[in-house]
């Protein structure tokens, strides 16, 4: 290849890339044009409300009274009050208890165990167990609440059954309110974790496990040394999803105990609702919702850090 030819090729490439650049520019312009309607809808109906929520959290807006009309900017007052508000503190503690026991321990661990038990069993077994657990998942929250109310209330199924064996009826929802809502939430949500772990377990390479068996690894060792490390990513994803879902659980608790008795089951969503719509303090309610958002973010980051996965 002589020098002239090489130059020509270079020139051609140069020319081609110039055309390409021009085309790229036009393409970008065109895509912006086409995306504009969708983006503006997103801004109006999604980003707008979120920004408004941020704004309202810094006001004294209320549902009725003078501050329903004349909203005032109050700076960090809502947040400062929140940190000195013992009810808020109680709600945070209740939320964490509810999260840890119903989501992290309950749904996650139970879902994992179920998935593990169903692994490599015959189809009928998988189907029956799967359908039973899924029943909880497909049932709407408010129906779950109703079912558990019918089960746990003073004249409910559980007490009727206990009476048959001579045990005095117990007001479950009043004596063990937190345990009641935690069990209801586990019943409702475990299927999700089970499905996630089922598909994760199916993807654990058979050869790895077989090799371990040949090397003489016990069941526990295979679980800890092979299965869990392989599906670590799914564990974190599931943990984050389940946490965020549970953080937002409102209907179940509200319909079952109303956050009571006293403050026994008053998680943050319930406290937020009460402040915004029962006490009419919309501004303070929004501030609490921002705090909830923060807790969700912190929890997610924590999981990622703890399990050292790359996202």
Partner 1 sequence: MGLKEWLNAVKAEFEKQHPDVKVRFVPIQASEGDFFAKLALMVKNEQTAPDIVTEDTFMINSDAAAGNIDPLDKYINQWDDWKNFNDSVKQGVTAVDGKIYGVPYSTDTRGLWYNVNIFSKAGLPVPWNPKSWDDVLEAAKTIKEKVPGVVPFWANSGKATGEATSMQTFEMLLYGTNDTLYNFDTKKWVVKSQGFLDSLEFIHEIYSNGLGPELSQVLTGKAGDIVQTELMPKEKVGIVLNGNWVPGVWREGGPSPWPEGTKVYKLTAMPTQHGQDPGFTSMSGGWALSIPTKADNKDLAWEFIKLATSKEYNKLYVLKQGDLTPRTDVAQDPEVLNAPGSVTKEAASFIKFTHFRPGVDKYPAVSTAIQAAVEAVATGSLSPTEAMDQYAREVTRIVGSENVEVREYK
Chain contacts with partner 1 (rule: CB under 8 A): 62-66, 68-69, 81, 84-87, 154, 171, 173-174, 258, 260-263, 274, 277-281, 284
* Cβ closest to partner 1, residue 36 vs residue 81: 81
Q: How far is the CB of 240 from partner 1 (least distance, A)?
A: 33
Q: How far is the CB of 62 from partner 1 (least distance, A)?
A: 7
Distance CA 163, CA 108 (A): 34
Taking Cα atoms as reference points, which of 137, 181, 172 lies closest to residue 154?
172
Phi then psi dihedrals of residue 153, to 5 deg: -70, 175
* Cβ closest to partner 1, residue 181 vs residue 239: 181
Residue 141 CA from chain centroid, whole number: 14
* Cβ closest to partner 1, residue 192 vs residue 271: 271
* Torsion angle defined by CA atoms of residues 262, 266, 272 and 276, in that order, rounded to the nearest 10 degrees: -30
* Cβ closest to partner 1, residue 115 vs residue 291: 291
* Cβ closest to partner 1, residue 137 vs residue 280: 280
Q: Are 124 and 143 in contact (CB under 8 A)?
A: no
Q: How far is the CB of 151 from partner 1 (least distance, A)?
A: 16
Distance CA 98, CA 248 (A): 11
* Cβ closest to partner 1, residue 34 vs residue 277: 277
Tokens 């912190």 locate to 298
Cis, bond preceding 277 (omega within 30 deg of 0)? no
Distance CA 268, CA 171 (A): 24
Q: How far is the CB of 92 from partner 1 (least distance, A)?
A: 16
End-to-end Cα distance, the chain: 49
Q: How far is the CB of 87 from partner 1 (least distance, A)?
A: 8
Q: How far is the CB of 81 from partner 1 (least distance, A)?
A: 5
Q: Are 276 and 212 in contact (CB under 8 A)?
A: no
């Amino acid at each position: 290849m002589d020098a002239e030819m090489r130059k020509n090729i270079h020139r051609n490439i140069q020319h081609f890339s110039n055309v390409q650049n021009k085309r790229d520019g036009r393409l970008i312009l065109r895509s912006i044009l086409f995306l504009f309607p969708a983006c503006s809808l997103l801004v109006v109906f999604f980003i707008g409300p979120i920004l408004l929520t941020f704004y309202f959290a810094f006001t004294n807006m209320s549902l009725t009274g003078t501050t329903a009309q004349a909203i005032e900017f109050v700076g960090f007052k809502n947040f400062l009050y929140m940190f000195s508000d013992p009810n808020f503190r109680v709600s945070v503690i209740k939320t964490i208890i509810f999260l840890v026991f119903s989501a992290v321990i309950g749904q996650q661990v139970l879902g994992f165990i179920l998935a593990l038990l169903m692994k490599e069993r015959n189809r009928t077994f998988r189907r029956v167990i799967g359908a039973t657990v899924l029943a909880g998942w497909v049932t709407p929250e408010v129906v779950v609440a109703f079912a558990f109310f019918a089960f746990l209330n003073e004249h409910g199924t559980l007490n009727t059954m206990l009476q048959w064996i001579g045990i005095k009826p117990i007001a479950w929802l009043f004596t063990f309110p937190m345990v009641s809502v935690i069990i209801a939430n586990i019943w409702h949500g475990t299927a999700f974790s089970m499905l996630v772990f089922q598909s994760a377990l199916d993807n654990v390479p058979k050869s790895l496990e077989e090799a371990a068996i040949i090397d003489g690894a016990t069941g526990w060792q295979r679980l800890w040394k092979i299965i869990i490390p392989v599906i670590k990513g799914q564990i974190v994803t599931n943990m984050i999803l389940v946490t965020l879902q549970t953080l937002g659980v409102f209907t179940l608790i509200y319909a079952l105990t109303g956050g009571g008795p006293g403050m026994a089951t008053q998680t943050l969503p319930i406290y937020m609702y009460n402040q915004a719509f029962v006490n009419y303090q919309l501004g303070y309610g929004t501030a609490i919702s921002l705090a909830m958002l923060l807790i969700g973010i912190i929890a997610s980051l924590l999981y990622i850090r703890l399990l050292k996965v790359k996202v």
